[in-house]
Structure 1
């Protein structure tokens, strides 16, 4: 068993710089960042200089051919997740791929199969799973404090939060807008807390009302003339156990809050709001709200990267699995398909988790 994990970075953009590399460095001697690959050499060179990375390549294929690597972080636009993941797995690497898994269900399923065939870890960057509020609520759920969770609400809404950088508004490279970018985070968090129940039907609608107009940008000024994704998505998901989930996600909407990310769970013994964490129950003839007085303060990304490194070193699967990646891809793509068709879509393929 290796004592030091040799890591390569695929994609030298903001998520690599702001989340992956700083938190790999917090792992100390367990990790050595040995290479970075990016099609923009200047960006890769700058990242290597700032983080003292010894090798720089313009393609990940070249990186795998020339440097011994145990694991990679894949930090490229969604369109390129599939090829980078398959190549890395075939090169014998464990993979942490940023969310969403891919652009299609078939791609996500092939990624799952390749990881199984290679005997390597494949996990996805759903870092909200590592939030202390999620970990605490998961314990309450598993202890039966909420009972049968039959209704869930997912919110990922921004007032004017269209990213003014990157490729977030490019449908060809991203596959969609807020649903596949921020909505997928809260959707995954809700499904994780619910135990990833088997999906039955999805119904979705999408809107493009504000993104194609010039306006106030709270996250930089976006390119409204080349805005090709939805600016809002709404949907409903039903599960084969009878439960349901309502989802709202937007980069731009005329709402009060500048940014809201939340999950609400409703069960027959109790309910919960995630951010801030509060449980709602009836005890001894009284309606009560339960709030934690202390939660750990370690960052979501820090825990995600720390646990990925430990899993690679000890051979365990992180909490986000390839099978769950397929399921969430089914839901996301099903919602987009439903929005295009104007009717509900049956999710027929089931995946064992």
Structure 2
């Protein structure tokens, strides 16, 4: 493909306007954002005017039928990821879908099948994979510096970070709270650095202790009366290779830090904290900490979109695959199922 990549946007909310559209536009004449669709059609119209997008529509189906597109970004609430992505793939478009993959494992599987059948890329918005800390650590891991990674911790905690906007506290539209919204980022980052091992079983617990109370909101006041998701989720994951991972995720918890997003890895030759990157090793009779003195200053969001564009234009395939999306969805839904029953779930 030598012409500009013709892109459509589904969902005209914050993630589309703050991340996807601006970063597509940074690609210059390699990308043309042709259309945007949103069920709140006035919002689509306003976004089209704001960013100089020629067409706006009320539905993804109308957009796909009306304009010729090469790729589509899915920026809707989680409930609509699968239907929008499958429609775009069946129309012959590559798809960049925001996280999480879907609401259910069956949806994630259907999305992967649609991508394989269409012969198109389906990549997910796990932008932490593209951060400089993760990229640097991945090179160390690939070089054998950590050895076999057998234990990990994924942390996504906020002291009082319940979103005061959007549908993040609506279980019907999102499927859950911090586990599926922010915990999924650190879970994916950990799995990516571990080589995406096959999960064997999970044990999870969820809590709703603070979200249904009126309180101080560091991300604005939230609708505590209609709060239907968990405000904290914790989990333990065991993989078929014997490795384990502990997950902590919360929109609101009585902790010291305002927020913490991190992954901790432990291997038999070294360990690491990812954000900021520090590697722990024993060398030449000493215990040492290795920290990069310099990393390039480019955001994970920008690189995520840039690399998706490169892939669609014939470059390297995206580093996020539909198969990984299915595996991740199994873990998420397994943790929620375990939390409901109080029993471990075999995957």
Q: Which bracket does the TM-score occupy, shorter chain normalised?
A: over 0.9
Partner of 1:9, secondary structure, is: strand
Aligned to 1:111: 111
CA distance in 2, matches of 1:75, 1:52: 18
What do residues 82-121 of structure 1 show as CA deviations (whole Å, max 9, x unaligned)?
1001100111100000000001001100110110000111
Q: Residue in 2 aligned with 1:335? A: 335
Paired position in structure 2 for 1:324: 324
Q: Secondary structure at the match of 1:314?
A: coil
Query: What is the match of residue 351 of structure 1?
Result: none
2-structure distance, mates of 1:283, 1:34:
55
**Structural RMSD (CA):** 0.7
CA displacement, residues 259-295 of structure 1 (integer Å, 9 cap, x when unaligned): 1000000011110000110001111111110000000
CA distance in 1, matches of 2:300, 2:148: 28
Query: Does structure 1 residue 271 correspond to structure 2 residue 271?
Result: yes
1:262 counterpart = 2:262: yes
User: Does residue 123 of structure 1 match 2:126?
Assistant: no
Q: Which residue matches 1:4?
A: 4
**Unmatched runs of 5 consecutive residues or more in structure 2:** none
Residue of structure 1 in register with 2:24 after alignment: 24
1:294-309 aligned within 5 A: 294-309=294-309
1:210 aligns with: 210
> What are the Cα deviations for residues 148-179 of structure 1, in whole angstroms up to 9, with x where unaligned?
11110010000000000000000000000000
In structure 2, the residue corresponding to 1:320 is in which secondary structure? Answer: coil
- Once residues 40 and 289 of structure 2 are traced to their aligned partners in structure 1, the CA distance between those partners, rounded to angstroms, is 52
Q: Distance in 1 between matches of 2:55 and 2:312?
A: 22
Query: After the TM superposition, which residues 281-296 of structure 1 pair with which residues of structure 2 at under 5 Å, given as runs?
Result: 281-296=281-296
Provide the secondary structure at the position in 2 that maps to 1:35. Answer: strand
Count of residue pairs the alignment pairs up: 347
| CA distance, structure 2, for counterparts of residue 96 and residue 290 of structure 1 | 35
- Return the alpha-carbon distance in structure 2 between the equivalents of residues 59 and 141 of structure 1: 43
- Report the CA distance between 1:317 and its aligned residue: 2.3
Within 5 A, what are the aligned runs for 1:240-259? Answer: 240-259=240-259
* SS of 2:203 mapped into structure 1: strand
Q: SS state of the match for residue 179, structure 2?
A: helix
Residue 316 of structure 1: how far off its partner (Å): 4.1
- Deviation at residue 315 of structure 1 after TM alignment: 5.8
State the 1:57 CA deviation.
0.5
Which residue number corresponds to residue 52 of structure 2? 52
Query: For residues 285-307 of structure 1, what are the alpha-carbon distances to aligned partners after superposition, in whole Å with 9 as ceiling and x for unaligned?
Result: 11110000000111111000000
Structure-2 separation of matches of 1:81 and 1:315: 25
Query: Using the alignment, how far apart are the partners of 1:7 and 1:336 within structure 2?
Result: 35
Deviation at 1:320, TM superposition (A): 0.2
Shift of 1:3: 2.5
Q: Could you tell me the TM-score, scaled by structure 2's length?
A: 0.99
Alignment partner, residue 100 of structure 1: 100
Aligned to 1:72, the other structure's residue is in SS state strand
SS of match in other structure, 1:24: helix
Question: Counterparts of 1:240 and 1:196 in 2: how far apart (Å)?
Answer: 11
SS of 2:155's equivalent in the other structure is: strand
Indicate yes or no: 2:221 matched with 1:190: no
Once residues 127 and 195 of structure 1 are traced to their aligned partners in structure 2, the CA distance between those partners, rounded to angstroms, is 17
Q: Distance in 1 between matches of 2:244 and 2:198?
A: 11
Distance 2:268 2:85 in 1: 41
Secondary structure of the structure 1 residue equivalent to 2:318: coil
Helix, strand or coil: the match of 2:340?
Answer: helix
